[in-house]
Structure 1
Amino acid sequence: MEGKIIIVSAPSGCGKSTIINRLLQKGEIDMKFSVSATNRQPREGEVHGVSYWFLTDEEFRQAIADDNFVEYEEVYPGRFYGTLKSEVERRCREGHNVVLDIDVKGGVNVKRMYGERALALFIEPPSIDALRVRLEGRGTESPEAISQRLGKAEYELSFAPSYDIRIVNDDLDKAVADTEKAIKQFVGA
């Protein structure tokens, strides 16, 4: 049986990666990450095709021109990351469900591309104020950086209505359980 596509998006600090990792650790749902592509150089210990698909600038730009990505982003000037269609399709053909941990615009585009084959989940904070408290609690960023993240989060929250399911992460265990229930229902697990 062919696998399905699970899109998970959220503003920074909403617990998206934590939720996905908890579900992967539980191992009750057959979900695999697709290996992303980038045009940056491999770091020590990284393996082509395992850590990332490492493409040259020219290869990455040609893949964009050839419409080979389900989504891509220029994260920094000249530095690209993306999800290759071939990688998603390969995982699905192998019978695995593919989980995509991607930004909100990419998530909307992937949902549009795959329609009913994809479930789009949006993880959101209970409020912008609660998100501010979380980000400040990390103690890793300046007040200016936190303000920037909150501004971006407000913008990203405007995409939430385009997603199939919205999950408020007010309580991490409940958010994990709600996400697990939605995914299991979608994949028939």
Structure 2
Amino acid sequence: MKKEKGLLLVLSGPAGVGKGTVCGALRKEKTAIQYSVSATTRAPRAGEVDGINYFFKTREQFEKMIEQDELLEWAEYVGNYYGTPIDYVRETINKGHDIILEIEVQGALKVKERFPEGVFIFLMPPSLAELRNRIVGRGTETEDIINKRMTVAREEIEMMEKYDYVVENDEVNLAVDRIKAIVTAEHCKRERLIEKYKQLVEVD
């Protein structure tokens, strides 16, 4: 019987909404979902490890990856590049494994152009006030950068209609449960399974 391909899950939303926290919680639950590591030119935050949280690159290294078409998507966001290495994603899906991309909204929309069959999930904050509190709580951005992120967040929320699902990150454990429910439902979709099960009734 033909092997079912894995799902390409794309999780995005405004900066500070908790994408990394939700993905981290998914990994701790030991689901079968694999995590795709993005490349970036931003400096590592405290506790972040190269190759685990991100592939940290210089601008020169990143621009070489762009030139050689080694990225599924890439975007420049608040002065830094972010992108997704393409080979690992393709190999994982073809082996039948689900993979989740945690990326900015710009990058998600680029992925949708190349992989429209992906599952696109928009992670929402409970409110803009709460979003600002989370960004301030990081203690890593200046007031100017925080204001820029809030302006971008409003623009990104208006792009929600381009996504398949919206998950509110009011509580991390609830957001994780909602994403797991989405994955289960997607694996049961008729269009993903019809070719596989047609083989059951084919005459040799």
Fold shared by both chains (TM-score > 0.5): yes
Residue of structure 2 equivalent to 1:18:
21
* Aligned pairs for 1:1-189 within 5 A: 1=3, 2-28=5-31, 30-37=32-39, 46=50, 52=55, 57=60, 60-75=62-77, 80-116=81-117, 118-188=118-188
- Report percent identity of matched pairs: 30
The two structures have a TM-score, normalised by structure 1, of 0.77
Q: Give distance in 2, aligned partners of 1:97 and 1:74.
A: 26
Q: Which amino acid aligns with 1:167?
A: V
Q: Give distance in 1, aligned partners of 2:28 and 2:184.
A: 15
1:142 deviates by: 4.5
Structure number with larger C-alpha Rg:
2
1:60 deviates by: 4.5
Q: Secondary structure at the match of 2:9?
A: strand
Q: Give distance in 2, aligned partners of 1:134 and 1:56.
A: 28
Q: Secondary structure at the match of 2:83?
A: strand
Indicate conservation of the 8 Å contact 1:38/1:60, yes or no: yes
Indicate conservation of the 8 Å contact 2:25/2:173, yes or no: no
Q: Which amino acid aligns with 1:3?
A: G
Indicate conservation of the 8 Å contact 1:37/1:55, yes or no: no
1:179 deviates by: 1.6
Q: Which amino acid aligns with 1:97?
A: D
Indicate conservation of the 8 Å contact 1:74/1:80, yes or no: yes
Indicate conservation of the 8 Å contact 1:120/1:165, yes or no: yes
Indicate conservation of the 8 Å contact 2:8/2:98, yes or no: yes
Indicate conservation of the 8 Å contact 2:124/2:167, yes or no: yes
Q: Secondary structure at the match of 1:115?
A: coil
Q: Describe the shift of the 1:142–1:111 C-alpha distance in structure 2 as closer, same or farther (beyond 3 A).
A: same
Indicate conservation of the 8 Å contact 1:35/1:53, yes or no: no
Q: Give distance in 2, aligned partners of 1:53 and 1:154.
A: 28
1:173 deviates by: 2.6
Q: Give distance in 2, aligned partners of 1:140 and 1:52.
A: 19
Superposed CA RMSD: 3.2
Q: Secondary structure at the match of 2:179?
A: helix
1:15 deviates by: 1.5
